[in-house]
């Protein structure tokens, strides 16, 4: 899941004007990059800095992901790095319908 999240969020590294829903995630990512820089470590990951999350990054991550992907985002579901479906999508009872085969 980490690689999928990195792919979906890496644009936040260079984005100048962050939307409110992007701020917690951008901060969590910046903290990792700064920790790697201050520790004299090479960047293992251009988005996160290193592969570890400290307590503050962890505290920012889940609420940040819920803000970014929507309140129905569930980190333990399949496709967790996908945004919440839009209200106009074809849904019934909160579940996406499979196409007929």
Q: Which of 26, 23, 27, 50 is nearest to 37 (CA)?
A: 50
Does the pTM surpass 0.85? The reply is no
Burial class (CB in 10 A: 0-12, 13-18, 19+), 29: buried
Q: Provide the phi-psi class of 45: left if phi over 0, else alpha when psi is between -120 and 50, else beta.
A: beta
Question: CA gyration radius for the chain?
Answer: 16
**pLDDT tens string 19-38:** 999 999 999 999 988 988 88
Per-domain residue ranges for the chain? 2-72
**pLDDT tens string 35-77:** 888 888 777 777 888 778 889 998 999 899 999 988 887 767 7
Segments of the chain assigned E as strands: 91-92, 95-96
């Amino acid at each position: 899941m980490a690689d999928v999240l990195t792919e979906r969020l890496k644009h936040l590294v260079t984005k100048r004007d962050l939307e409110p829903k992007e701020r917690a995630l951008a901060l969590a990512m910046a903290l990792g990059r700064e920790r790697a820089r201050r520790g004299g470590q090479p960047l293992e990951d251009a988005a996160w800095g290193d592969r570890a999350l400290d307590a503050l990054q962890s505290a920012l991550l889940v609420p940040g992901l819920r803000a970014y992907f929507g309140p129905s985002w569930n980190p333990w579901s399949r496709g967790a790095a996908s945004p919440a479906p839009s209200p106009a999508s074809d849904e019934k009872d909160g579940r996406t319908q499979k196409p007929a085969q």
